[in-house]
Structure 1
Amino acid sequence: MKSVKASAPGNLFFSGEHAVVYFYPAIVTSVGKRTFATATERSDNVVEVESAAFGKATAKIQNGKLENRELEKKELGSILDLCEKTIQEFSITNGFSLSIDSQIPVESGMSSSTAVLCACLKAITELFGKSFKEEKYFDFLLPLQVRIHGGKASGTEIYSSTFGGFNRVQKVNDDGKISQKVKNLGKQEFSVVIGNTKVRGPTALVVGSHHPSIIKRFPEMVEGSWKKIEKIVNSMQSSIKKGDSVKVGKLMNNNQKILSKLMVSHPKLDDCINEALKAGALGAKLSGAGWGGVMFALVKKEDQEKVAKAIESTGSEAIITEIGVEGVRLEA
């Protein structure tokens, strides 16, 4: 049976997560930890998904829909939704199997769910010989990401996981159609250490419930915070282009203070951030939804191991990896 393997990277936000949902800019980079999806032909009409993180799910293709769904965990529902949408888009009638494995921690703030969607879409379309350009991924995947994120999403991670690199991204509403305004910031030589707190960060809860709550109760504070973050993004963009890692680090610290004020940090994140800074990190902040998940530290190359050990001293996992890597791709 024919098989196709594809992968997509996770992401880190240097600045602007949360604000980016509300049409403010963010700076995001792809990371060297990837999700892998292998699509394999079947001789029947069954779609079978096997995920290393969430177990198995099955369904049958009937009249362009996936019927008789059986899932070991609810998180697999979004993958079946992607399969159904792809089946409908390309009139696929043959069944297939999807095997998913990931280097990205689940619910960590590193865009694990987006990397899964991108890798699976690439694997399925290539398996059936369907031409689907990466430029179309955003519109195709955004409704699924919105559902995963509790009703609101910027789509920033879709762009980053699809195209990779180091980018300034801003959600734009053009007469009701959501798109992305993107500026590539070029190849950068920055070094980072990621700290995985192992506390799962519930993106849907933070974005779907916490945001509306604080916006309703503290509208001026929240709006003021978004505007401060926008200034940080603008200043950071200039500093990144100059390769000024010291200034970028200071701006990361400022962004983290605002995120803490917005009540999206977590004691374990704060612990990792403080230890990283004490060990000589140039800057450190959470990435993604918060309330757990990951933080990362911007460091001098020679300080990576020292900062990694400082993060590990908190009981968290330290991850040293590249940033600005290639986006979705086929694997040999």
Structure 2
Amino acid sequence: MGCAWSAPAKVIVFGEHWVVHGGLALAAAIGLRARAYGSPSESGLWVFSQLYRIGENLMESCSRFCNLLAGFRLVASSYGRSLWPARIRIESDIPVGAGLGSSAATALAAVAAYACVGGLEPGYDVLWRAAFEAEKVVHGNPSGVDNTVALYGGFILYRRGSGFKRVEFRGMRDTRLLIVDSGVSRSTRIAVERFTVRLERLGRLGRRLLETADGIVEEALAALSRGDSVRLGELMDVAHGLLNAMGVSHPVLEEIVWIARREGALGAKLTGAGMGGTAIVLVDLEHASRVKKALELRGFRVYEVELGVPGLQGPV
């Protein structure tokens, strides 16, 4: 048996921005994966990246892969060991910088492959902490959502201060999710500030909107338990409308949403910070190719994926 592991990307389906202010957020694992292949090495801890086309010996120094070194060290120290030599080769389907949890999925797969080379079978708690250490190098103060979704897969419910909860759901095999890159760069900081200023200015109404956003998530949980993709799509439309009203959409995101709905999508919304970045579109199999083609004809890069896929997988 080899030391090949993979972990999925994630999307925020509902609750972005609201979660910063105490609201619920629902995230899902999607069918784009990072893969890590581990093998023994006579000397050095080498990491090779398909994306960056570079290799780096982390026992000598780190520049590109300092996050992975942090994760490897946590695994080793958890077993009272020093770092051991290995070769870790990384490949990924996940777009970088799109808010899809690329760094967390990559770190989790790499950490699992590295542990495998060392003859270890760490539990989920160690793997979670190792991936979280890697995420802290990249993001400073991560929420833990990305590495939680990458580890467990499926759907994850989150509220600040209350931790994470895995969500039971019925598979929707006749449904796909389109990830649509708007091509517009965005600043998470600016988007969060804009949303926060408007929410505070609205006062009591803002608090009611927060309650409404929580209600959307609760309705989505019920829809997932029934496998009701039509209801889920309707809720996506409503959630997007709220985010647009709060000032974090963008004309290009609105175009994506409008095209998707026109071509028969079940629902569409921005995901993540907004003001650019990525949109998600829920489609049934009957309309998937039509919606995807219409978006691609407008020049958008579109990824068609399954929703609620398994988390960390391996070794193979």
Q: Does the TM-score normalized on the shorter chain lie above 0.5?
A: yes
CA distance in 1, matches of 2:54, 2:184: 21
**How is 1:242-321 mapped onto 2 (pairs within 5 angstroms)?**
242-321=226-305
Listed one character per residue, the Cα deviations across residues 225-268 of structure 1 (whole Å, up to 9, x for unaligned) are: 54332111011112222333222212101111222344443433
**How is 1:145-184 mapped onto 2 (pairs within 5 angstroms)?**
145-151=135-141, 153-165=142-154, 167-173=155-161, 179-184=163-168
Q: Which amino acid aligns with 1:125?
A: A
Q: Which runs of 4+ in 1 moved over 6 A?
A: none
CA distance in 1, matches of 2:184, 2:34: 18
**How is 1:101-180 mapped onto 2 (pairs within 5 angstroms)?**
101-151=91-141, 153-165=142-154, 167-173=155-161, 179-180=163-164
CA distance in 2, matches of 1:128, 1:237: 40
Q: Comparing both structures, which one devotes a greater share of its residues to strand? A: 1
Q: Which amino acid aligns with 1:285?
A: K
Aligned partner of 1:52 in structure 2 is: 50
Bigger drift between 130-139 and 108-117 goes to 130-139
The CA deviation at 1:284 is 0.3
Listed one character per residue, the Cα deviations across residues 264-300 of structure 1 (whole Å, up to 9, x for unaligned) are: 4343332222111110111101223334443221122
Q: Is the 8 A contact 1:193 1:307 kept in 2?
A: no
The CA deviation at 1:133 is 1.3
Change (3 A) 1:190 1:170: farther
Aligned partner of 1:77 in structure 2 is: 66
* 3-state SS in 2 of match to 1:42: coil
Aligned partner of 1:7 in structure 2 is: 6
Q: How many residues align?
A: 312
Aligned partner of 1:64 in structure 2 is: none
CA distance in 2, matches of 1:225, 1:147: 34
The CA deviation at 1:7 is 0.4
CA distance in 2, matches of 1:263, 1:137: 38
Aligned partner of 2:77 in structure 1 is: 88
Q: Which amino acid aligns with 2:117?
A: L
Aligned partner of 2:214 in structure 1 is: 230
* 3-state SS in 1 of match to 2:161: strand
The CA deviation at 1:51 is 1.6
Change (3 A) 1:124 1:312: same
Q: Is the 8 A contact 1:7 1:35 kept in 2?
A: yes
- The percentage of aligned residue pairs carrying the same residue is 24
The CA deviation at 1:39 is 1.8
* 3-state SS in 1 of match to 2:87: strand
Match of 2:196 among 215, 220, 232: 215
CA RMSD of aligned residues (A): 2.8
Q: Is the 8 A contact 2:179 2:303 kept in 1?
A: yes
CA distance in 2, matches of 1:223, 1:170: 19
Bigger drift between 128-137 and 262-271 goes to 262-271
**Structure 1 portions without partners, runs of 5+:** 62-66
Q: Which amino acid aligns with 1:68?
A: S
* 3-state SS in 1 of match to 2:280: strand
* 3-state SS in 1 of match to 2:146: helix
CA distance in 2, matches of 1:289, 1:39: 34
CA distance in 2, matches of 1:97, 1:131: 18
Q: Within the alignment, does 1:19 sit opposite 2:3 as a pair?
A: no
Q: Is the 8 A contact 2:25 2:159 kept in 1?
A: no
CA distance in 2, matches of 1:215, 1:198: 23
Change (3 A) 1:214 1:250: closer
The CA deviation at 1:70 is 4.1
Q: Which amino acid aligns with 2:72?
A: C
CA distance in 1, matches of 2:67, 2:299: 31
CA distance in 2, matches of 1:47, 1:291: 40
CA distance in 2, matches of 1:306, 1:224: 38
Change (3 A) 1:58 1:214: same
